[in-house]
Chain A
């Protein structure tokens, strides 16, 4: 199995630009999670989906962030407009049946200048 795939692995953009992060979960996994990790705030759950439906989006920082899961094999996290404080590593994870056994992707390192 290829594991969770994220793209791009690194993204550098200027403030105000739109950023789209992509995730392909492990085939057959019902849950998909988006996280953000910074030194200051640690690992924060942004949103998670069950069977493509958003379940808990209480961690989404503000309206600039949006996440979609149009089908079982693809999800996006979009930031528009981006700000320097959005700089972080964004992880996507998937889980087969439960919330606990999560398999993380390698992450996208985002730098907003």
Chain B
């Protein structure tokens, strides 16, 4: 089983729709969680952090469920410009004394008119 798993999609949704992605992680000691966005043939860019209490940034809401070991990203009122691949990132402490960082494979979103 992969340490971080995402549904690869693609999620095809019309403009204005609400869409949600999940990302599951296997290490219960994971400490920090983030969502990155990657446009086609571009580099990833930090979208938002995921806090235990959940956080919202405009149309985007990120949540953490430690009991079930997943994080989620909700996008409301989808725009054409939201079309991209969304990568989750999990950081956990490692026995070597440093933090280990793992990217999920990404979920592709395609918003159509």
Contact = CB atoms under 8 A, between A and B. Distances in A.
Main secondary structure of the interface of B (DSSP, over half): strand
Contacts, number: 46
A44 B94 CA distance: 17
B96 A100 contact: no
Interface string B22-66: 000000000010100000001111100100000000000000000
A107 interface: yes
A34 interface: no
B87 A43 contact: yes
B46 A101 contact: yes
23 contacts: A42-B103, A42-B104, A42-B106, A43-B44, A43-B87, A43-B106, A44-B103, A56-B94, A56-B98, A56-B101, A58-B100, A91-B43, A99-B32, A99-B91, A99-B99, A99-B101, A100-B32, A100-B34, A100-B49, A100-B89, A102-B46, A105-B43, A107-B43
A102 B34 CA distance: 11
Given A99-B101, A100-B91, A106-B43, A56 B32 contact: no
Interface size classification for chain B:
20 to 34
Interface of A: 33, 35, 42-45, 48, 55-56, 58, 91, 93, 99-102, 104-107
Given A100-B49, A107-B43, A45 B98 contact: no
